[in-house]
Amino acid sequence: MFNTRIKIKDVLATTPQEGEVTVMGWVRTFRNNQFVALNDGSTNANLQVVLELGKFEDEFLKRITTSASLKVTGIVVASLGKGQAVELKALNVEVLGDSDPEKYPLQPKKHSLEFLREKAHLRFRTNTFGSVFRIRHSLAFAVHQFFNDKGFLYLHTPIITASDAEGAGETFHVSTLSMDKPPRSEDGSINYAEDFFGRATNLTVSGQLEGELGATAFGDIYTFGPTFRAENSNTARHLAEFWMIEPEMAFYDIEDNANLAEEFIKYLIRYVMEKNADDLEFLRTRLLDEEKQKPQAERSELDLLQKLQFVVDNKFERITYTEAIDILLQSSHYKKKKFQYDVSWGIDMQSEHERYLVEKHFKKPVIVTNYPAAIKSFYMRMNDDGKTVAAMDILAPGIGEIVGGSQREERLDKLESRMNEMGIPTEELWWYLDTRRFGTVPHAGFGLGFERMVQFVTGMGNIRDVIAFPRTPKNAEF
């Protein structure tokens, strides 16, 4: 048996004791031929391993370099040094894998996030990414905990699909046809009848439509899986491959929907505050350092922990789209012509508008409802005014849109006429429309972008730094 190790996090939580323990991990630093800072990814805190002077050959000590992997057996003793209560007095040290310091790409110093993106295969070995990915893990776990506790069913919706939930392109095609010489129909178009599925297919942009099928049988379901959008937007908030959580609930109206979303977001934040206090503290300090580079006026009033606490403690603001537009039009920002894009009823708010609302005006998350039908998807429920739909977006400080959702149109005639208006083929979505034919019910749901949630909780400015191997335009390394 090889795996006799104790995780460093657990060793650091113990008190000096008799008996040997074994740890395994990677060297962060080695000082004075005596002190190894060993890390195994269970926490950012390194275990100080003390090698008694003269006990080990010089040739052997030379192999203890940054990122070399070690197996150490020793005794947990009280530490005389600062920064840790206990350390490991080494009895036996084995190098499992050498790491040539001339060639190892990361130096034991601070690297920029941009540089680390180029070294994404090794960046997990830094404190920042250690914290981010442990928090990401916690959040994923909390998602399941939250819905499981509420009796929601976890539905696995397909990754390959023939439908485009948004009804608007930007999908990645999935095909086994020859790219050089695809079979063609008489009119010259590609003949997908000869393709693997006998039709054109793509990677899913959302599991919502299938989610609605689940909700109209199980009541409450959620999905949590990867979604793909071939949108060529090179922003700090968009990925081509991202993870989305999509709860869908029968017997919910828009207000029930907003209540659930707010409760869910607060639950996720609380969960991480409780389980990942050390990692949050590390990121809080990291962010404060980063902010010191900025002019005073651009620094945030609250630090990361204060911000999270504030979100948990306060009710999200709830306004209609029409009210949001009024606030923008009344703002001095607008009057001084500081928005790049114009404001008027009917616009699809740009991120500068959303950020003004949450960061400058309300200074907290805002739930905006009842958007103009013309800028929203076909499945959203038409309000009595005949102009707006029961849509709901949640906007978060620093992120912008974090949730998009709606009450769904459950009335078959209204849904069909809306689809016809928007050019969505009703024949292709016959299975979706069947839910409205057979026992239709009021229902609602939303999509939370998982990476945007991780960004919000960790304070990371770029979405590329909260997913292990980001997929963005012109970038699919690793």
Interaction of residue 242 with ligand ATP, rule CB under 6 A: yes
CA distance 142 to 163: 30
Interaction of residue 25 with ligand ATP, rule CB under 6 A: no
Q: Name residue, tokens 């409205």.
A: 436
Interaction of residue 354 with ligand ATP, rule CB under 6 A: no
Q: Please choose, from the candidates 69, 230, 223, the residue with its C-alpha nearest in 3D space to the C-alpha of residue 144.
A: 223
Residues 6+ apart with CB under 8 A from 188: none
Stretch that binds ligand ATP, among 64-72, 216-224, 286-294, 449-457 (CB under 6 A): 449-457
Q: Which of 11, 49, 142, 244 binds ligand ATP (CB under 6 A)?
A: 244
Interaction of residue 211 with ligand ATP, rule CB under 6 A: no
49 or 448: CB nearest ligand ATP: 448
CB of 59 to ligand ATP, least distance (A): 51
The secondary structure element, H or E, covering residue 261 is helix 254-275
Residues 6+ apart with CB under 8 A from 63: 95, 98
CB of 351 to ligand ATP, least distance (A): 7
Stretch that binds ligand ATP, among 134-142, 250-258, 287-295, 401-409 (CB under 6 A): 401-409
The amino acid present at 335, given as its one-letter code, is: K
CB of 121 to ligand ATP, least distance (A): 22
Q: Which of 20, 255, 401, 416 binds ligand ATP (CB under 6 A)?
A: 401
Interaction of residue 456 with ligand ATP, rule CB under 6 A: no
Interaction of residue 397 with ligand ATP, rule CB under 6 A: no
Q: Which of 447, 455, 456, 464 binds ligand ATP (CB under 6 A)?
A: 447
Interaction of residue 403 with ligand ATP, rule CB under 6 A: yes
Residues 6+ apart with CB under 8 A from 403: 261, 265, 392, 393, 394, 446, 447, 448, 449
With CB under 6 A as the rule, give the number of residues binding ligand ATP.
Answer: 15
CB of 99 to ligand ATP, least distance (A): 35
Interaction of residue 464 with ligand ATP, rule CB under 6 A: no
Alpha-carbon torsion (395, 278, 22, 98), positive or negative: positive
CA distance 349 to 355: 10
364 or 452: CB nearest ligand ATP: 452
Interaction of residue 404 with ligand ATP, rule CB under 6 A: yes
Q: What does the DSSP assignment read for 410-467?
A: --HHHHHHHHHHHT--TTTTHHHHHHHHSS---EEEEEEEHHHHHHHHHT-S-GGGSS
CA distance 339 to 344: 12
Interaction of residue 143 with ligand ATP, rule CB under 6 A: no
Query: Can you give the binding site for ligand ATP, defined by CB under 6 A?
Result: 229, 231, 237-239, 242, 244, 401-404, 447, 449, 451-452
